[in-house]
Chains A and B, each alone.
Chain A
């Protein structure tokens, strides 16, 4: 129940986490998209703004030209009047200068106001007025130049030059008004564009700030997630370390206990055995005395010896003593084996770098003669991974395995023992493979037990070799397994750490 609710809570947490992540992602995408749009808008608005400014500038130019034209018309009018009233060459020059300027100004205005039909129409009205005025003015001026001042003054009155000037003034005034109107409009447009630009930039800045804040939040969240995971990992790691330390300490303690136990047992078993053997010898000695007496012909003929006593002294007693002796000898062997195992187990391991190829080759060489006698060969497949471990223990492990391989050959089949090794997943894995008589799968566990052997008992041995090998491999931080079937050879696979940690001196 608790587990289920825990599960639900975790699921909900994961779901909300996923939702959060998705919404953040959407917000970010939208924000970035908006930012992109706004950048484009700002670009467009800036262009538009500069266009607006250009238009305003343009209007100023038009206004300037109109004013100039007005000025020129006024100046020419003033100069002409001056000329009519008095002879003054400077008036004539001013007049000509002013009139000469008119066509250029008109052309300029026409060019500038090409886009504006209102102004074009005004210009169309202005041009004949100015032409007529010029023609009239030139005529009066010609009269003045010929000295006919009075005729010129009469013509002047008749031509109603003032009216023409007045009309041109009106038209120019209209044009100026039109331009002022345009100026107001264009200024408004420009300032509108500016405002929009400003607002857009402001919005973009807001968006940038928003996206930044979201990014920051997200980064912080991820960072804190990361930190949390890291802390969790570290905690787990430390927990694992502690667990491994505890476990190792437990195992070491258990191992020491077993060693001590084996040591005590073997001692205490040996003490009574000393008695059994000792008193068996005493018995033998006593029996010898009896046998001698029984063998005495005088005694045999005395008739005192019963047939039962004869059988007892000649057959039963020697047989019994022989059995006691063989049994005690065997028991002594077993006790010695236990003692030896416990003693080897108490040895402190001293890790050192081991070149495995020469080490294994040396081991193979020690059995080469025996192997040749039995028609077998030992093959070393190179390269072999080097390890850091206890030399003696490694030699005992592989020495035992190679010995066994040579020992348990299949009669009638040329023996072939292959030793190989490889580095796999940070461990060194060695294999000793033979094509010998093999081990039935039901015996795979049994062969590693103390005093247990498998198959035909035709080879000498106490059944401690593989038990010792396995105990050693375990102490070296490794594992050992066997792959085999009866009559199909056997493969012993030893997996060892590449580097054995130095252990604290556990010896007494």
Chain B
């Protein structure tokens, strides 16, 4: 039984500019999935954990997570997602300005799937997002398997 349900991209990013840049570059990479944007961790977590349309209701999703949020730490959100049995297979991509080794390690320990540093150099940033787009298009194929 293969269900053709499009993957929703949940973007948790407090910086509007970053959100816009990420959005644009994802579109530029040829990915037109629905993108749900949250500027706050609390609201995002509530949606992810409780909303029936979200991943909690078995909707396939991919989470783009910024670590520096105003209301809570991104690693806490990551831990909350990975601690929820229904959600632990939902791919989480951490997108942040930090390239600190310890932090990267901690994110991977918590179960993050991909860690992407937002480079100041725009070209490499766009590159990273496009690669992310490729990654998204890859995971779009086995829909519903998650």
Determine if A281 and B122 form an interchain contact, defined as CB atoms under 8 angstroms apart: yes
Min C-beta distance of B67 to chain A, whole Å: 9
Query: Which of A270, A280, A281, A508 is close to B97, meaning CB atoms less than 8 Å apart?
Result: A270
Determine if B122 and A280 form an interchain contact, defined as CB atoms under 8 angstroms apart: yes
Query: B116-146 interface mask toward A, CB cutoff 8 Å, 1 = contact, 0 = none?
Result: 0011111101100000000000000000000
Contacts of B100 in A (CB 8 A): 263, 343
CA–CA, A273 and B121, complex, Å: 9
Determine if B122 and A275 form an interchain contact, defined as CB atoms under 8 angstroms apart: no
Determine if A328 and B98 form an interchain contact, defined as CB atoms under 8 angstroms apart: no
Query: A312-331 interface mask toward B, CB cutoff 8 Å, 1 = contact, 0 = none?
Result: 00000000000000001100
Contacts of A270 in B (CB 8 A): 97, 118, 120
Q: A279-B17, A282-B24, A508-B102 are in contact. Are A271 and B125 (CB under 8 A)?
A: no
Instruction: Identify whether the interface residues of A are mostly helix, strand, loop, or mixed.
Output: helix
Interface centre among A263, A271, A280, A343 (most CB of B within 10 A): A271
A274 within 8 A of B: yes
B31 within 8 A of A: no
CA–CA, A412 and B21, complex, Å: 52
Contacts of A279 in B (CB 8 A): 17, 21
B18 within 8 A of A: yes
Min C-beta distance of B127 to chain A, whole Å: 12
B15 within 8 A of A: yes
CA–CA, A267 and B17, complex, Å: 16
Of residues 453 through 508 on chain A, the ones whose CB sits less than 8 Å from some CB of chain B are 507-508
Determine if A274 and B17 form an interchain contact, defined as CB atoms under 8 angstroms apart: yes
Contacts of A282 in B (CB 8 A): 21, 24
Determine if A267 and B18 form an interchain contact, defined as CB atoms under 8 angstroms apart: no
Query: A251-276 interface mask toward B, CB cutoff 8 Å, 1 = contact, 0 = none?
Result: 00000000000010001101111110
Determine if A328 and B102 form an interchain contact, defined as CB atoms under 8 angstroms apart: no
Min C-beta distance of A440 to chain B, whole Å: 35
Determine if B18 and A271 form an interchain contact, defined as CB atoms under 8 angstroms apart: yes
Min C-beta distance of A287 to chain B, whole Å: 14
Determine if B122 and A277 form an interchain contact, defined as CB atoms under 8 angstroms apart: yes
B68 within 8 A of A: yes
CA–CA, A459 and B24, complex, Å: 40
Query: B46-69 interface mask toward A, CB cutoff 8 Å, 1 = contact, 0 = none?
Result: 000000000000000000000010
Contacts of B97 in A (CB 8 A): 267, 270-271, 274
Interface size class of chain A, counting residues whose CB lies under 8 Å from the partner chain: 20 to 34
Q: A267-B97, A343-B100 are in contact. Are A275 and B123 (CB under 8 A)?
A: no
Contacts of A343 in B (CB 8 A): 100
Min C-beta distance of B123 to chain A, whole Å: 7
Query: Which of B18, B24, B102, B123 is close to A274, meaning CB atoms less than 8 Å apart?
Result: B18
Residue on A nearest B123 in the bound complex, by CB: A281
Residue on A nearest B101 in the bound complex, by CB: A343
Query: Which of B15, B24, B102, B126 is close to A275, meaning CB atoms less than 8 Å apart?
Result: B15
Determine if A275 and B21 form an interchain contact, defined as CB atoms under 8 angstroms apart: yes
Min C-beta distance of B100 to chain A, whole Å: 7
Interface size class of chain B, counting residues whose CB lies under 8 Å from the partner chain: 10 to 19
Of residues 190 through 209 on chain A, the ones whose CB sits less than 8 Å from some CB of chain B are none
Residue on B nearest A269 in the bound complex, by CB: B97
Determine if A278 and B102 form an interchain contact, defined as CB atoms under 8 angstroms apart: no
Determine if A275 and B121 form an interchain contact, defined as CB atoms under 8 angstroms apart: no
CA–CA, A94 and B119, complex, Å: 154
Of residues 30 through 45 on chain B, the ones whose CB sits less than 8 Å from some CB of chain A are none
Determine if B123 and A332 form an interchain contact, defined as CB atoms under 8 angstroms apart: no
Determine if A271 and B68 form an interchain contact, defined as CB atoms under 8 angstroms apart: yes
Q: A275-B15, A275-B17, A508-B102 are in contact. Are A267 and B122 (CB under 8 A)?
A: no
Determine if B17 and A278 form an interchain contact, defined as CB atoms under 8 angstroms apart: yes
Contacts of B125 in A (CB 8 A): 274, 277-278
CA–CA, A275 and B21, complex, Å: 8
Of residues 276 through 307 on chain A, the ones whose CB sits less than 8 Å from some CB of chain B are 277-282
Determine if A332 and B120 form an interchain contact, defined as CB atoms under 8 angstroms apart: yes
CA–CA, A80 and B61, complex, Å: 169
Contacts of B21 in A (CB 8 A): 274-275, 278-279, 282
Determine if B98 and A277 form an interchain contact, defined as CB atoms under 8 angstroms apart: no
Contacts of A278 in B (CB 8 A): 17-18, 21, 122, 125
Query: B8-26 interface mask toward A, CB cutoff 8 Å, 1 = contact, 0 = none?
Result: 0000000101100100100
Min C-beta distance of A264 to chain B, whole Å: 9
Contacts of A268 in B (CB 8 A): 68
Min C-beta distance of B44 to chain A, whole Å: 18
Q: Which residues from chain A sit less than 8 Å from chain B, CB to CB? A: 263, 267-268, 270-275, 277-282, 328-329, 332, 343, 507-508
A274-B119, A278-B122, A281-B126 given; name 20 further pairs at CB < 8 Å: A263-B100, A267-B68, A267-B97, A270-B97, A271-B15, A271-B97, A272-B15, A272-B17, A273-B120, A274-B18, A274-B21, A274-B97, A274-B118, A275-B17, A275-B18, A277-B122, A278-B17, A278-B21, A329-B120, A507-B102
Q: Which 5 A-B pairs have the closest CB atoms?
A: A275-B17, A281-B122, A278-B21, A332-B120, A270-B97
A-B CB contact pairs (8 Å), 15 listed: A267-B97, A267-B98, A268-B68, A270-B120, A271-B15, A271-B68, A271-B97, A274-B15, A274-B118, A274-B125, A280-B122, A281-B126, A282-B21, A332-B120, A343-B100
